[in-house]
């Protein structure tokens, strides 16, 4: 039992050391609009299903990326499951983008504040936060604080839930597959 506890502790520390918040690059003249999103519960069916991608999520984000939007991922995932996050995104076909992972217990305990601070850094660097996706009321609080218009914020219903969590958003989506047509036909090119 003692060895198991030591192994779990080592993995927790190792997980923290492997993913550091990505630096916020300034926008380029041809790419200044971004899509921001949560990972757990948004790209996965529930916040506890950290290894299972939602059906259609990668297709939807790749469509947004092809339209010229930079993708920024935000998460307060616990350290034990942080270490493989970049590989998980790549292996499941998600487009490359900025990845910001909460590094402290304080950041994880106040997800809305952590995400709002990251988004404020992007806005200050000159990025236009064009669209946002989340599954938690803390996501929607951060997006409202970043002044992303309600019409450009979308909630995803967690597997097994009857409704989306409370917040300010345009629509509560069952999943990404139903939203792909909207992305392809309603969201303009960022180029």
Domains and CATH numbers, the chain: 2-22+30-186 (3.40.50.1000)
Nearest one of 80, 85, 109 to 96, comparing CA atoms: 85
Whether residue 100 contacts residue 124, with contact meaning beta carbons closer than 8 Å, is answered with no
Q: How far apart are CA 102 and CA 174, in angstroms?
A: 27
pLDDT tens, the chain, 191 aa long: 444 333 444 344 333 333 444 567 889 888 899 999 999 999 999 988 888 999 999 999 999 999 999 999 999 988 877 778 999 999 999 999 999 999 999 999 999 999 999 999 999 999 999 999 999 999 999 999 999 999 999 999 999 999 999 999 999 999 999 999 999 999 999 98
pLDDT at 22: 53
Structure tokens at 157: 């219903």
* Helices and strands (H, E) in the chain, number of each type: 7, 6
Nearest one of 154, 156, 141, 158 to 47, comparing CA atoms: 158
pLDDT at 173: 97
Strand ranges of the sheet holding 153-156, from the earlier edge strand across to the other edge = 97-101, 70-75, 33-38, 128-134, 153-156, 171-173
pLDDT at 3: 40
Nearest one of 109, 116, 127 to 33, comparing CA atoms: 127
pLDDT at 82: 78
Query: Is 4 exposed, middle or buried (CB count within 10 Å of its CB: 0-12, 13-18, 19+)?
Result: exposed
Q: How far apart are CA 90 and CA 101, in angstroms?
A: 16
Q: Tens of pLDDT along 76-104?
A: 988 877 778 999 999 999 999 999 999 99
pLDDT at 121: 95
pLDDT at 18: 36
Structure tokens at 119: 């988004």
pLDDT at 10: 39
């Amino acid at each position: 039992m003692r060895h198991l506890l030591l192994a779990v502790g080592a993995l927790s520390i190792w997980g923290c050391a492997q993913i550091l918040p990505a630096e916020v690059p300034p926008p380029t003249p041809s790419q200044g609009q971004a899509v921001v999103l949560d990972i757990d519960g948004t790209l996965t069916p529930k916040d506890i299903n950290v290894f299972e991608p939602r059906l259609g999520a990668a297709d939807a984000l790749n469509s947004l990326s092809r339209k010229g939007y930079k993708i920024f991922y935000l998460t307060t995932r616990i350290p034990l499951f942080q270490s493989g996050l970049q590989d998980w995104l790549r292996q499941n076909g998600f487009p490359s983008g900025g990845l910001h992972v909460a590094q402290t217990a304080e950041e994880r305990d106040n997800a809305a504040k952590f995400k709002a601070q990251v988004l404020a850094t992007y806005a200050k660097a000159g990025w236009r936060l064009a669209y946002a996706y989340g599954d938690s009321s803390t996501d929607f609080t951060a997006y409202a604080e970043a002044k992303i218009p309600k019409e450009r914020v979308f909630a995803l219903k967690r597997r097994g839930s009857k409704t989306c969590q409370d917040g300010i958003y345009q629509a509560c989506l069952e999943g990404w597959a139903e939203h792909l047509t909207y992305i392809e036909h309603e969201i303009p090119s960022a180029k």
